[in-house]
């Protein structure tokens, strides 16, 4: 992804890009879900869904369903929707009801009823509307990560990226603290003006050669391991990722056209590798199956500075905030797209580095805070893992501000809009998670709403959204036809 984003803007300006890849180190190969930003990646490169999606067994994604994270009656399930243009019709009502319930009015405030994406998923529809219905859903995708890697490799070569299969053993560091060259097991010494470290968790250049500190998030996020295995596809292909809370973490279920990708993300402090595999097999109904399980370790945290001297770390080499909201490819795209304009303007200096690093770190820490919210707000008490997560006070000041405003019944909308806190996620996502987890006053303390509070009719919302749903293709039908995209939603609307 990084090579292609750089190539798109820089190769026409005469820059040479060479990608070195070790024949001995496989890719991690498990990232199979995206956020809506990925659509912008393909749009920028002019690659149509009709070309890349079938090649990668890809499906459409309307959002993520969270199962069993909360035990509060009525809130055992909620859906984190990807935004649609039609949300403008229901956001006001949703925010109104949530804020009134926070002030004690007994009003309906579960997110699923207010968003088109949640209804599309329930109806097994895709986020692609028929030609005469001009309302875009800012959807994401699911895909086979290995096939997508191969597809992008081919595209990068077509667009002028040079490729060398070689294993980098080490880098030399100049007296000024910059990378001087990299050396390969095949005996080559390779020099460049800029080195981009995409070596995954091994962090060969920034961490190992340049000794840039890695800031662990282990105090905020306990999960550090995963086990993955496929399962057979069902008749109807869902257009959502499902994330189900298990005993010591959560399991993902990602639909591709030919299979489900599944995995259990857990904390090795609370659960052994073997117990995790057994629990995942039980969850999937695969206890007696011989399907192979893949075990992985995760390093959760980030570099203090992703751009240091003449070297930029992108991908797992920069950092990782566990896969709960499938954000890693989004960060890669965000980092590469924000770096290119600096190169184009020749801003290769200390001031630009500080600005860029602050931007990336702020965004990354905002994503961490959002992921932490899932764990902090859980109400399960069945294992020490969940109790420890709920009791964890290692939260950023920004997150503490969100929680204290929310529980005091003060609106968090102005702070989110001004990006004073909650960076990286829009108003809709923060309201979806906090209301979806049932973070409201105790039901026994709720009072009947007054007329002003009860002014929105849920049946009108049901009627509007249900009629809209009928205009979107059935998911399987859309995967067959890959209908053209509508003009995309503006970011302004996304951040409502
Ligand atoms: C359990 C899990 C689930 C995930 N789910 C998602 C998800 O749903 N959505 C999402 O967006 N992301 C997800 N991710 C993250 C996603 O998989 C990665 O961000 C993405 O694959 C990019 O990885 P990478 O290229 O940085 O590293 P890797 O895939 O590890 O690639 C590293 C590359 O560096 C090369 N390399 C390493 N060492 C050397 C060397 N010495 N010399 C030469 N080359 C070398 C390797 O050959 C390889 O090609 C998940 C991650 C995990 C662990």
Domain edges within the chain: 2-59+142-217+301-349, 82-133+392-494, 225-297
CA distance 159 to 469: 39
User: How much is the pLDDT for 488?
Assistant: 59
Q: How far is the CA of 50 from the centre of ligand 1 (A)?
A: 25
What pLDDT shows up at residue 482? 75
Burial letters for 226-244: b for 16+ Cβ neighbours within 10 Å, e otherwise?
A: bbbbbbebeeebbbbbbbb
- Ligand 1 centroid vs 323 CA: distance in angstroms? 12
Ligand 1 geometric centre to CA of 383 (Å): 31
What per-residue confidence (pLDDT) applies to 491?
47
Residue among 268, 267, 56 at smallest CA distance from 145: 56
Q: How far is the CA of 331 from the centre of ligand 1 (A)?
A: 13
Most ligand 1 atoms within 8 A of CB, residue of 315, 320, 371 to mutate: 315
Atom of ligand 1 nearest to the CA of 254: 8
- Rg (Cα) of the chain, in Å, rounded? 23
**Which among 141, 156, 182, 198 is the best mutation to test ligand 1's pocket, defined by most ligand atoms within 8 Å of the CB?**
198
Quote the ligand 1 centre to 150 CA distance (angstroms).
13
Cβ 256 under 6 angstroms from ligand 1: no
Rounded distance, CA 153 to CA 149, Å?
6
Please give the chain's pLDDT, 496 residues, in tens. Answer: 999 999 999 999 999 999 999 999 999 998 899 999 999 999 999 999 999 999 999 999 999 999 999 999 999 999 999 999 999 899 999 999 999 999 999 999 999 999 999 999 999 999 999 999 989 899 999 999 999 999 999 999 999 999 999 999 999 999 999 999 999 999 999 999 999 999 999 999 999 999 999 999 999 999 999 999 999 998 899 999 999 999 999 999 999 999 999 999 999 999 999 999 999 999 999 999 999 999 999 999 999 999 999 999 999 999 999 999 999 999 999 999 999 999 999 999 999 999 999 999 999 999 999 999 999 999 999 999 999 999 999 999 999 999 999 999 999 999 998 888 998 899 999 999 999 999 999 999 999 999 999 999 999 999 999 999 999 999 999 999 877 776 655 544 454 4
Centre of ligand 1 to C-alpha 88, Å, is 37
Task: Name the residue at shortest CA distance from atom 30 of ligand 1.
Answer: 200
Cα–Cα dist 278/274, whole Å: 6
From 5, 26, 31, the mutation candidate for ligand 1 (largest count of ligand atoms within 8 A of CB) is 31
**Ligand 1 near 367 CB (within 6 A):** no
Ligand 1 binding pocket mutation candidate from 3, 30, 41, 145 (most atoms within 8 A of CB): 30
CB 353 within 8 A of CB 311: no
CB distance 205 to ligand 1 below 6 Å:
no
Which atom in ligand 1 lies closest to the alpha carbon of residue 265? Answer: 1
- Assess whether the C-beta atom of 56 lies below 6 angstroms from ligand 1: no
Q: Report the separation in Å between the CA atom of 486 and the middle of ligand 1, taken as the mean of its atom positions.
A: 31
Q: List the catalytic residue out of 61, 128, 253, 376.
A: 61
The CATH superfamily label for domain 2-59+142-217+301-349 reads: FAD/NAD(P)-binding domain (3.50.50.60)
Asked if residues 441 and 380 have their Cβ atoms less than 8 Å apart, the reply is no
* Ligand 1 pocket check for 32: Cβ under 6 Å: yes
Residue 249 CB less than 6 A away from ligand 1: no
3-class DSSP state of 142: strand
Q: What is the pLDDT of residue 344?
A: 95
How far, in Å, from the CA of 229 to the mean position of ligand 1? 17
CB atoms within 10 A of CB 429: 23
For ligand 1, what atom is nearest to the CA of residue 314? 26
Q: Is 190 in the pocket of ligand 1 (CB under 6 A)?
A: no
The finding on whether 33 has its CB within 6 A of some atom of ligand 1 is yes
Active site residue 486: no
Q: Which atom of ligand 1 lies closest to the CA of 24? A: 47
Contacts of 411 (CB under 8 A, 6+ apart): 99, 405
The CA–CA distances, whole Å, from 330 to 89, 140, 160, 307 equal 27, 11, 24, 18
**417, two tokens:** 């809009």
- 70 contacts 76 by C-beta, under 8 angstroms: yes
Decide: 360 and 206 in contact? Cβ < 8 Å: no
Q: How far apart are the first and last CA of the chain?
A: 29
């Amino acid at each position: 992804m990084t090579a292609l984003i750089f190539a798109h803007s820089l190769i026409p300006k005469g820059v040479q890009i060479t990608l070195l890849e070790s024949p001995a180190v496989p890719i991690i190969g498990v990232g199979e879900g995206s956020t809506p930003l990925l659509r912008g990646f393909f749009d920028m490169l002019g690659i149509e869904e009709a070309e890349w999606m079938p090649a990668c067994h890809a499906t459409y994604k309307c959002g993520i369903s969270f199962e069993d994270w909360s035990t509060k009656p009525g809130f055992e399930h909620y859906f984190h929707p990807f935004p649609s243009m039609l949300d403008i019709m229901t956001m006001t009502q949703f925010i109104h009801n949530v804020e009134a319930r926070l002030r004690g009015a007994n009003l309906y405030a579960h997110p699923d009823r207010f968003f088109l994406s949640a209804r599309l998923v329930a109806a097994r529809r895709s986020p692609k509307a028929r030609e005469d219905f001009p309302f875009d859903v800012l959807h994401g995708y699911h895909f086979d990560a290995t096939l997508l890697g191969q597809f992008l490799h081919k595209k990068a070569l077509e667009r002028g990226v040079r490729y060398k299969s070689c294993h980098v053993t080490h880098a030399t560091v100049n007296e000024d603290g910059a990378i001087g060259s990299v050396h390969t097991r095949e005996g080559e010494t390779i020099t460049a003006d800029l080195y981009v470290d995409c070596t995954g968790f091994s962090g060969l250049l920034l961490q190992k050669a340049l000794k840039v500190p890695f800031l662990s998030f282990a105090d905020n996020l306990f999960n550090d391991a995963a086990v993955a295995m496929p399962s057979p596809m069902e008749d109807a292909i869902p257009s959502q990722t499902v994330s189900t809370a298990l005993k010591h973490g959560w399991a993902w279920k990602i639909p591709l056209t030919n299979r489900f990708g599944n995995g259990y993300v857990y904390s090795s402090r609370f659960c052994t590798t073997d117990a995790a595999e057994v629990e995942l097999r039980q969850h999937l109904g695969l206890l007696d199956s011989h399907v192979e399980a893949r075990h992985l370790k995760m390093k959760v945290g980030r570099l203090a500075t992703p751009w240091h001297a003449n070297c930029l770390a992108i991908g797992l080499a920069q950092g990782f905030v566990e896969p709960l909201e499938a954000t890693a490819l989004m960060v890669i795209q965000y980092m590469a797209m924000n770096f290119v304009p600096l190169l184009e303007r020749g801003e290769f200096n200390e001031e630009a580095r500080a600005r860029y690093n602050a931007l990336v770190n702020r965004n990354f820490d905002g994503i961490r805070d959002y992921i932490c919210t899932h764990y902090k707000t859980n109400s399960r008490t069945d294992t020490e893992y969940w109790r420890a997560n709920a009791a964890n006070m290692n939260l950023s000041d920004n997150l503490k501000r969100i929680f204290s405003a929310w529980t005091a019944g003060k609106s968090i909308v102005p702070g989110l809009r001004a990006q004073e806190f909650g960076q990286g996620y829009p108003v809709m996502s923060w309201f979806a998670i906090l209301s979806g987890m049932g973070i409201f006053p105790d039901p026994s303390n709720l009072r009947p709403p007054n007329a002003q509070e009860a002014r929105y009719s849920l049946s009108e919302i049901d009627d509007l959204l249900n009629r809209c749903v009928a205009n979107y293709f059935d998911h399987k039908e859309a995967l067959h036809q890959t209908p053209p995209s509508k003009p995309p939603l503006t970011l302004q609307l996304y951040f409502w």
